[in-house]
Amino acid sequence: MRINKLSALIGLSAVLSLSTLTVAQAESSSQANFPGIYLGASWGAYSIKKSNLDKNDHVLKAVVGAQFNNWFGLEGSWADFNRTDNGGDRFDADGMGVSAVFSMPVGATSSAFVKAGQFWWDSASSLGGSLGASSGNDPFWGAGFKFGFTDHLALRLEAERYDVSDTHLNTVTAGLEFKF
């Protein structure tokens, strides 16, 4: 099911307006999985199985997020799916996403998380003999684990599922996250 940009913006506005309640609750929290702004970068692989393409290739991802309390945050992301080709078929895409992140603290500095959101993509591909330079947006989701080294630095491992230009992309990435 496609969600248009207006619906996504209305939903994001509602979540942001409710975030003041979670910020107030976060101020009373004293655990090490503290609220804050974070930045991260990851590298990994994505798999594509469409037409003659049944390959794995590289994906780069950057994130910026806000953790409002121990269990809820919002995250913006950028992902670049490296160009892959096989004969006459090729796929190349990138895009930006916004997601809600639900975390469960594990120990003092680590956490497991799930996320779901909307991904706005641009793709230039030729699959099954038809050229397609297009853009659009689709829901995406994922899950992962943050291994906290300190209160500010964590190793981030995650798996995500994107739909880009009617093509399913499964990713696995690893990277670092720094929380301010």
Residue 48 has pLDDT above 90, yes or no: no
Contact in structure between 58 and 80 (CB atoms under 8 Å):
no
Q: What is the CATH number of the domain that holds 48?
A: 2.40.160.20
Q: pLDDT: is 123 or 68 the higher one?
A: 68
Residue 19 has pLDDT above 70, yes or no: no
Six-digit token string for 1: 């099911």
Q: pLDDT: is 81 or 49 the higher one?
A: 81
Distance from C-alpha of 169 to C-alpha of 49, rounded to nearest angstrom: 8
Query: Of 39, 43, 65, 73, which is closest to residue 154 (Cα–Cα)?
Result: 39
Q: How many domains does the chain have?
A: 1
Please tell me the predicted confidence (pLDDT) of residue 83. 80
Distance from C-alpha of 32 to C-alpha of 65, rounded to nearest angstrom: 17
Please tell me the predicted confidence (pLDDT) of residue 131. 60
- Using pLDDT thresholds of 50, 70 and 90, give the confidence band for residue 24: very low
Query: What ranges make up the beta strands (E) of 68-109?
Result: 72-86, 89-106
Write down the number of H helices and E strands in the chain. 1, 8
Which DSSP state fits 88? T
- Using pLDDT thresholds of 50, 70 and 90, give the confidence band for residue 132: low
What is the β-pairing status of strands 130-148 and 110-127? antiparallel
Q: Which domain holds residue 97?
A: 5-179
